[in-house]
Amino acid sequence: MAFIDLTSLGKSFGPTPVVRDFDLALHQGEFVSLLGPSGCGKTTVLRMVAGFETPDSGDIRIEGQSLLRQRASQRQIGMVFQSYALFPNMTVADNVAFGLRVAKLAPAQIDKRVDEMLDMVGLAAMKGRYPYQLSGGQQQRVALARAIAPRPRVLLLDEPLSALDAKIRVALRTEIRTIQRQLGITTLFVTHDQEEALSMSDRIVIMNAGRAEQIGTPEEIYNRPTTRFVAGFIGTLNVIEGQLGTEGGTVLTCAGGRLALPGTFGASPGETLSVAVRPQSLRPAPIDGDGLRGTVRHVEFLGAFTRLHVSCGPNTLLVDCFARDLAANLSVGSQIALTVPPDEVLRLSA
């Protein structure tokens, strides 16, 4: 049995459905990210779990027990907010102690737990400071310590890194994950940043228009997106449409040439298909060989690699290559052939 079960959750604000028929099961100690564009319903799901929104339909269960009749304050769910939400009138230590005082723990126990938590987030020396005397990263560490101090059953993270600058964001995401693993606390993390989701999560839920579009490990989501939306949302992607043929193996005949596909590709000959190819899967090849042919329209130097914009019929394909793979005389207007290893062609269902 899953530790947390969200079944058929639905929520509308006025006539607008925000979450539709949402199912998710989290195992104990798992770190799951809800990833999607703004307005896809990920924060609403989180707020329903926290008890700040009431679902219109469905159920939320922890260890088989429904939470719907429990108020937010009774659910034993810790939450970290995007805007930190530290209590401005309290010191760092008082902020961390807040939940412990509400739970009426003995003062000695509170002091011990506060010290442990502040040690864990590396802010032991700042316990007497007020939130306004801390940097954004420090405030978010305090918020994390405060959320986990009462030892909640579940930790909810609502875009906790979005307000921080890039360097701190990277450092803090490693820190959050380390602490989460150390405590083994089941965590639901909301983000719109795919890099954060990919680097931190055990599993990712890609949300679109209130629904879970795909649920899987970061590798599955990145390497085997099942829909055009997921493929387009995670990383950069070229979508190519064509007709399936079987001359000399399974091939996709499309504008600009032919693409070799693995096996039967789960489709019948003559069927029109949409496939997706990552820019790094497209490789320059000899112009007289097999593959797609096109004209280089733009060359972007991006440091570690170079991105080519290649027009193939009506499509413009993005191609990422290392400098060593590029012909020395390649420039805007050059003719180029491109190949893709068959197993790196992704089939899109919708």
Partner 1 sequence: MNLKRIGSWAIFILAVIYFLLPLVGTLEFSLRARRGVYSLDAYRNVLDDPQFQQTLAYSVILSIATVILGVLIVAPTAFWVRLKMPRLRPVVEFITLLPLVIPPIIIVFGYIRLFNTSSILPLTGSARGTDFLLAAGYATLSLPYMYRAVDTGLRAIEVQTLTEAAQSLGAGWATVLARVILPNIAVAILSGAFLTFAIVIGEYVIAALLNRPAFGPYMVWMGSNRAYEPAALAVIAFGMTWASMGVIQLLARRTRFTKG
Q: Which residues bind partner 1 (CB under 8 A)?
A: 50-52, 71-79, 81, 83, 85-89, 98-99, 102-103, 130-132, 143, 146-147, 150, 156
Residue type, 149: A
**Minimum distance from residue 150 beta carbon to partner 1 (Å):** 6
Pick between residue 103 and residue 171 the one whose CB is nearest to partner 1: 103
Pick between residue 96 and residue 277 the one whose CB is nearest to partner 1: 96
Pick between residue 99 and residue 257 the one whose CB is nearest to partner 1: 99
For residue 307, report the phi and psi dihedrals to the nearest 5 degrees. -105, 125
Residues 6+ apart with CB under 8 A from 119: none
**Minimum distance from residue 158 beta carbon to partner 1 (Å):** 10
Three-class SS of residue 333? Answer: coil
**Minimum distance from residue 81 beta carbon to partner 1 (Å):** 5
Pick between residue 129 and residue 224 the one whose CB is nearest to partner 1: 129
Three-class SS of residue 330? Answer: coil
Pick between residue 102 and residue 332 the one whose CB is nearest to partner 1: 102
Kindly tell me the sign of the dihedral angle through the C-alpha atoms of 304, 315, 336, 271: positive
Start-end of H helices in the chain? 42-50, 92-102, 107-120, 136-148, 166-183, 194-200, 218-223, 228-233
**Minimum distance from residue 184 beta carbon to partner 1 (Å):** 20
CA pair distance 48, 61, nearest whole angstrom: 11
**Per-residue buried b or exposed e for 276-286, using 16+ beta carbons within 10 Å of the residue's own CB:** bbbbbbbbbbe
Pick between residue 78 and residue 294 the one whose CB is nearest to partner 1: 78
**Minimum distance from residue 148 beta carbon to partner 1 (Å):** 11
Say if CB 230 and CB 218 are below 8 A apart: no
Say if CB 17 and CB 30 are below 8 A apart: no
* E strand residue ranges, 209-286: 211-216, 238-245, 251-254, 257-260, 272-277, 283-285
**Minimum distance from residue 189 beta carbon to partner 1 (Å):** 15
**Minimum distance from residue 91 beta carbon to partner 1 (Å):** 10
**Minimum distance from residue 115 beta carbon to partner 1 (Å):** 18
CA pair distance 61, 2, nearest whole angstrom: 9
Say if CB 121 and CB 142 are below 8 A apart: yes
Say if CB 260 and CB 342 are below 8 A apart: yes
Q: What is the DSSP letter of 262?
A: S
Pick between residue 6 and residue 340 the one whose CB is nearest to partner 1: 6
Which helix or strand (DSSP H or E) is residue 18 part of?
strand 16-26
Pick between residue 139 and residue 339 the one whose CB is nearest to partner 1: 139
